[in-house]
Structure 1
Amino acid sequence: MSQARGGNGGRPKRPTMVDVAREAGVALRTVSRVVNNDPTVGPEYLAKVEAAIAALNYHPDERARQLRTGVAGTIGAAVRRIAEVNPELAAIERTARASGLTLLAASTDFDEAREREILISMCRQRLDGIIVEPFGENHGYLQPELEAGMPLVAMDRPMSGISVDCVMSDNAAGIGMAFHHLHQHGHRRIAYIGDSERVYSGRDRAAAFRAALGAHGEPVEGLVHPGDISAERVAAALDTALHGPDPATALVTGNMDSTLAVLRCLGPEAASRLAIVGFDEVPLADLLQPALTVVAQETSKIGQTAVELLRARMADPARPVQTVIVPVTLKVRGSGEVKA
């Protein structure tokens, strides 16, 4: 077996197609056809080239293939967090892998400047497409990338300032389910504590809760508390909602972080006496006393749909922009059934 050597006689250099052609005793073009899965290569030549590839431990130059075809076989995902369990990201990776795509993921960590930096970097790497769990208030800076043909899909909320495909949960229906469930159990003073309205989902869910109050003839004042998720802010909201002259007897929390902050602030004993329905599944929710009733998102479906939308956009850049709304489910476990 021949072996390619470095010019200084030291460490062997990475074998090339020229080396494979020499080892197999065939033309360079034949090696290229085998590497690119050309079905017209005769079985005799195919066997020779494959044997030479195995003998030299040859691997095609991925960068050269990308330059030749213009296809990287890699998509990006910019999500808010990857340092914790992220079922949507797991679904993206699983669906991408099944489609023959490699995933490059990065965490924006709820930082608008970092989100912009990551997205611009991904665009410059000429990935085949990017899935974004957007946080920033304006993504207009990506318009030139869209016009240059970069496929983008928003997940969990739309991107602002540009028009791209989007997949997200039915926020309004989920809040309506939570409110109606508590109302059915006799609660008339129901409060809401959720995420900041700077965030699309926080704004959407708070608006849906205000609409539910209005539809039942209930006042909004003192019952709707969106804002940044901090222990101090959540404690103040709970004090207003639960200790005023006409205290709430039930609570809807707007996302997982809100739910966890509320439970920590209340403590086990107070939480067990208050009817609570959380938006988003919460780890170990079934181990609480009572177990936590939640509006569960189909996170795997959202991640899978995001990849499907991206692949459709990659295949047909001119297709109409599409928004997919994924249904949510009320999981009744006990905390939302505490009577008024």
Structure 2
Amino acid sequence: MRHVAALAGVGIKTVSRVINDESGVSEATRQKVLNASQQLNYQLDMAAGSLRRAGRRTLSAGLLLPSVSNPFSGEINRAMEDALGARGIAVFAASLDDDPQREQTIIAAFLGRRVDGLILTPIAKSQAYAIPEHSRDLPMVFIDREPVGIEADAVVTNNSAGGATAAAHLLSHGHVRLAYLGDRTEIQTARLRRQGFIEELGRQGIPTSTVSVREDLHDEESARLATLELLTAADPPTAIFSSQNLVTFGAMRALRELGLSKQVALIGFDDFTLADMMDPGVTVIAQHPERIGKLAAERLLARIDGDTSAPHTYVVPSELIQRGSGEIRPRA
């Protein structure tokens, strides 16, 4: 705070008033202080008192997920809470909503509370903005998506291989007219799943130009509408690969509306509760969020405890689970 005051040419009390959004400061002075804070990458210390504890730790960690309401994110959250809670570390979870600006805003909020480490699912094109904190030995572990512009541990699924497995499975059941339903294209995992799916079709002699691709489907309703459009076209696909659980839900609704649940094959990426209770059961490329969360927590704890080994990307394999929908053969 003294550094900010010196750069802005004001007193420490003025800096405190601006940072805490108190009255009694002119707009011109406020802007000077905010500009100085930005230049110095100053974050309000919400937990300075707690740093009197031995080891100067706050016994907290920040967890940034795509959406805490998504079942996949929820399972990661729970696994993190179990693993870190055993060490007395509280987990503060927040939703990214796949918004690059929100990513930086929430991370700044975590830093302001002096968390002992960060577990992040990134969406911004680069995470280089976090280098100053990481270089000051703040442990960071990225999950689901690898970071760009910064070297740090990451725990991910083999997304491309999972997409390829889905393609090979549908081809093995006689399908040649296929459709791909994808999440937003700026999301790393969505691009990798599409890449694996399309490349496997090409390797097995299916002209990739014939694949019906619908992307930027980020919720159940947009996926439902895209599926309805595909299945009511003149030459509809006989099989669908949906690359995310909410997209799968939308595809399932469309198939049910059209009475095609037992006629059009469906494979979804991400398992979900009651998938085996559908009629037919839903075949999935299952990730293992509980393993991802547990491994990410272990890596964060290792870094907090002083592990200085080179950053590494850990891959948790996906798994094809056959339940019936992905085994439907095309009609003659």
Matched residue type, 2:63: A
Shift, 1:82, TM fit: 2.0
Check 1:107–1:235 CA distance in 2 against 1; reply closer, same or farther (3 A cut): closer
- TM-score scaled by length of structure 1: 0.76
- TM-score scaled by length of structure 2: 0.78
CA distance in 1, matches of 2:227, 2:81: 38
Aligned length: 280
Alpha-carbon contact 1:279-1:295 (below 8 Å) kept: yes
Give 4+ residue runs of structure 1 displaced > 3 Å after superposition: 61-68, 230-247
Q: Kindly report which structure 2 residues correspond to 1:269-280, keeping only aligned pairs within 5 A, or say none.
A: 269-280=259-270
Shift, 1:83, TM fit: 3.6
**Match status 1:139 vs 2:127:** yes
Give the aligned partner of residue 310 of structure 1. Answer: 300
Give the aligned partner of residue 9 of structure 1. Answer: none
| Structure 1: gaps (5+ residues) | 1-60
Larger displacement relative to structure 2 (159-168 or 194-203)? 159-168
RMSD of aligned alpha carbons: 2.3
CA distance in 2, matches of 1:70, 1:174: 43
| Structure 2: gaps (5+ residues) | 1-46
Matched residue type, 1:337: E
Give the aligned partner of residue 81 of structure 2. Answer: 93
Alpha-carbon contact 1:229-1:261 (below 8 Å) kept: no
Secondary structure of 2:208's match?
coil
Q: Deviations over 1:145-186 (max 9, x none)?
A: 111221111011112222211001111221122122211111
Q: Kindly report which structure 2 residues correspond to 1:207-286, keeping only aligned pairs within 5 A, or say none.
A: 207-221=195-209, 222-230=211-219, 233-234=222-223, 237-238=226-227, 241-244=230-233, 246-268=235-257, 269-286=259-276
Shift, 1:101, TM fit: 1.9
CA distance in 2, matches of 1:66, 1:122: 19
Alpha-carbon contact 1:153-1:166 (below 8 Å) kept: yes
Shift, 1:68, TM fit: 4.7
Secondary structure of 1:105's match?
strand
Give the aligned partner of residue 169 of structure 1. Answer: 157
CA distance in 1, matches of 2:254, 2:168: 25
Give the aligned partner of residue 139 of structure 2. Answer: 151
Same amino acid, percent of matched pairs: 32
CA distance in 1, matches of 2:316, 2:129: 28
From 56, 59, 63, give the equivalent of 1:70: 56
Instruction: Name which one, 1 or 2, has greater alpha-carbon Rg.
Output: 1
Secondary structure of 1:282's match?
coil
CA distance in 1, matches of 2:94, 2:137: 22
Alpha-carbon contact 1:210-1:224 (below 8 Å) kept: no
